[in-house]
Amino acid sequence: MVRIAVDAMGGDYAPREVVHGAILAAKEFGVSVLLVGNPDAVNAELKRHPQEGLNIEVVPATEVVGMDEKPSRAVLKKKDSSIVVATRLVAQGRADGVVAAGSTGAAAVAAQLELGRIANVDRSAIACMMPTITASKPCVMVDCGANVDCTPQMLFQFGLMGSILCEGLLNYENPRVGILNLGTEETKGTELVKQAYKLLKASSKLNFIGFVEGRDFPMSKVDVVVTDGFTGNVALKTAEGIARMISVALKQELLSSLRTKIGGQIAEPAFQALKNRIDYNESGGALLIGVKGVYVIAHGGSKHTAIKNAIRAARDLVNADVVKKIESILANGTTGSTP
Amino acid sequence: MVRIAVDAMGGDYAPREVVHGAILAAKEFGVSVLLVGNPDAVNAELKRHPQEGLNIEVVPATEVVGMDEKPSRAVLKKKDSSIVVATRLVAQGRADGVVAAGSTGAAAVAAQLELGRIANVDRSAIACMMPTITASKPCVMVDCGANVDCTPQMLFQFGLMGSILCEGLLNYENPRVGILNLGTEETKGTELVKQAYKLLKASSKLNFIGFVEGRDFPMSKVDVVVTDGFTGNVALKTAEGIARMISVALKQELLSSLRTKIGGQIAEPAFQALKNRIDYNESGGALLIGVKGVYVIAHGGSKHTAIKNAIRAARDLVNADVVKKIESILANGTTGSTP
């Protein structure tokens, strides 16, 4: 039975929605959940739900890292915070993976501190699932914000890790890996992407398709988008912002006349289906990769469904043995040369 | 009367749609249009439309720069190409601005060659109008792809030029200028954006609001988005790609059941209005700024409406005296110090 440690105090709706999501996950996926946080607060929430036959344990943690705190300082100071204790459970072998909602920075620092990086990984990174035109076939973008400055070597490792993640989490066979650039021609782009291109192209370990543009990933032309954390974060947030803008504008237009109001009400199931397809909150969150453990970071605004999905993602990553696979593919060095 | 030189041979639907758009512009906006290209081909298209009372002149050019040619080489070699001749008309004072559909690279090289840069502008840049949640209130993003590597000084100049452009083209008062970053805190980001932040903050010439994120510009939280050409291009194309993805997914969902089909048909005017609000092809194209002349680059796939809109944008930029204003604001150097 897969054991997932959940930071019960993290996120805008903690502990209520986190505990609720954890119970749903224990029920639906048969995982064992360790809820880490203030025992009184967590138990009060647990009482609201029937838990017969579920594997749920409360692990006490006396402190909480707030969203407004500087991650590195807060995590280093608060050794008994819920995020640190949850992460430590994996380091101690008491859990197989962590789910935390809220501060990506705090999660990254806690993971670095308690789990450490996989050998030959220069830096851990944030991978995000991005909705695409192909329903329930997202693409993976790495890095979405952990590393502002990157080396070609790091991008190469992002490609390898992203590919393994994509296979393990999404079950894609031979996922197509591309580097985000401002054009698809080999001669275009920064020195960083040109050098990374050479490394990825020289590797026989993955299905490298070359440079891709910002309009390619939404149209399902690539499965793993490799990029530095600055560009990746801009792309991710632009995608979120445009999706939000269109959703609001669509509502405005549907309410603009009696005719469109009526049509809109009849067609409502289509809008609901569309919302589910492009909703960034429901996708199971971001993944911290390159550390010695499965680490899922749910959106700060996660409600129970998002928490449940994040726990499922953690379970899938544990079952796919993603951490061991990354260790093994990087074991013979991080150069682009074939083994 | 404002005189616009139009590359009649540029774009996927040239010369037919270009000539058609030029005639519409001459009629609707009372501008004088100089159609540059193969006289036989252009005249054949002109014959298809009544032109009484319109100011339309055909200026011969014997060559064409193709979309598949390397811009710098092609432009330097083909001195009598339509794009070069159209640009030269502005240099010679025979036209006030240029409209060209197609290769942004070729346009940038032609502009550099025939017009040159405004004094104290380090590099010309591409400015794009990006749809936002506020209908008919786009924001301006600079640079959208001309400069892969940028200095803080260049970003500072993009901010100044973008602000003037925004006032002149969109009539925004005191436009809010922000630098695109992966967070809004002053301590976040690359050295490039941190240094540019200092320069823009120190300037009294514009309304600098600090760092903005990818999700801010679609939600109308900023009017001028300053960024390097690599990041800007990724943001622009991601926005286009996500808009396209959602539009296709919406259609799929509306066609997925009889109920949603019927509702969709009734609500059709709302979808048309939405399409017009988020259509990147209808926005008048990109602008090349920093060169000594008004330069509008329409989408390669422009049909007559897009060409017409591009000509209107060129006219507005001429009328607003944008080039002189940029010259004057940069006249006392390009440092962030107040005058």
Considering CB atoms only, which of B216, B235, B274 is closest to A253?
Answer: B274
| Omega cis (within 30) before A71 | no
**Contact criterion met (CB < 8 Å) for A237 and B260:** no
Considering CB atoms only, which of B183, B234, B270 is closest to A235?
Answer: B234
**Contact criterion met (CB < 8 Å) for A271 and B253:** yes
Nearest-neighbour CA in chain B from A187: distance (Å): 11
Considering CB atoms only, which of B235, B252, B277 is closest to A234?
Answer: B235
Within 8 A by CB and 6+ apart from B228, the residues are: B143, B147, B148, B149, B150, B154, B155, B192
**Contact criterion met (CB < 8 Å) for B250 and A216:** no
End-to-end CA gap in chain B: 35
| Omega cis (within 30) before B15 | yes
Can you point out the beta strands (E) in chain A? 3-7, 32-37, 56-60, 97-101, 125-130, 139-142, 176-180, 207-212, 224-226, 286-289, 294-298
Using a CB-CB cut-off of 8 Å, the residues of chain A touching B194 are none
Residues A302, A306: Cα–Cα separation, whole Å: 5
**Contact criterion met (CB < 8 Å) for A215 and B145:** no
Interface size between A and B, measured as CB pairs under 8 A? 214
- Indicate whether B203 pLDDT > 80: yes
State which residue of chain A sits closest to B236, comparing Cα positions: A214
Residues of chain A with pLDDT under 50: 336-339
Nearest-neighbour CA in chain A from B252: distance (Å): 9
- Indicate whether B75 pLDDT > 50: yes
% of chain B at pLDDT higher than 90? 86
**Contact criterion met (CB < 8 Å) for B263 and A266:** yes
State which residue of chain A sits closest to B265, comparing Cα positions: A263
| Tens of pLDDT, residues B285-315 | 799 999 999 999 998 889 999 999 999 999 9
Residues linked to residue A207 through DSSP beta bridges, in sequence order: A176
The whole-number pLDDT of residue A301 equals: 87
**Contact criterion met (CB < 8 Å) for A190 and B241:** no
Using a CB-CB cut-off of 8 Å, the residues of chain B touching A215 are 237-238, 240-241, 244
The order of strands in the sheet holding A224-226 is A56-60, A32-37, A3-7, A97-101, A294-298, A286-289, A125-130, A139-142, A224-226, A176-180, A207-212
* Mean pLDDT of the region B53-61: 96
Of A186, A190, A160, A191, which is closest to residue A175 (Cα–Cα)?
A160
Considering CB atoms only, which of B145, B213, B234 is closest to A180?
Answer: B234
State which residue of chain A sits closest to B256, comparing Cα positions: A270
Residue of B137, B242, B274 to mutate, interface with A, max A Cβ within 10 Å: B242
Nearest-neighbour CA in chain A from B29: distance (Å): 29
| Tens of pLDDT, residues B11-27 | 999 999 999 999 999 99
Using a CB-CB cut-off of 8 Å, the residues of chain A touching B269 are 253, 257, 259-260
- Indicate whether B336 pLDDT > 60: no
| Average confidence score pLDDT of chain B | 93
- Indicate whether B258 pLDDT > 60: yes
- Indicate whether B278 pLDDT > 90: no
| Sign of the alpha-carbon torsion through A150, A154, A156, A162 | negative
The whole-number pLDDT of residue A299 equals: 87
Considering CB atoms only, which of A215, A259, A267 is closest to B240?
Answer: A215
Of B130, B134, B110, which is closest to residue B288 (Cα–Cα)?
B110
**Contact criterion met (CB < 8 Å) for A215 and B231:** no
Nearest-neighbour CA in chain A from B40: distance (Å): 35
Q: How confident is the model at residue B321 (pLDDT cuts 50, 70, 90)?
A: very high
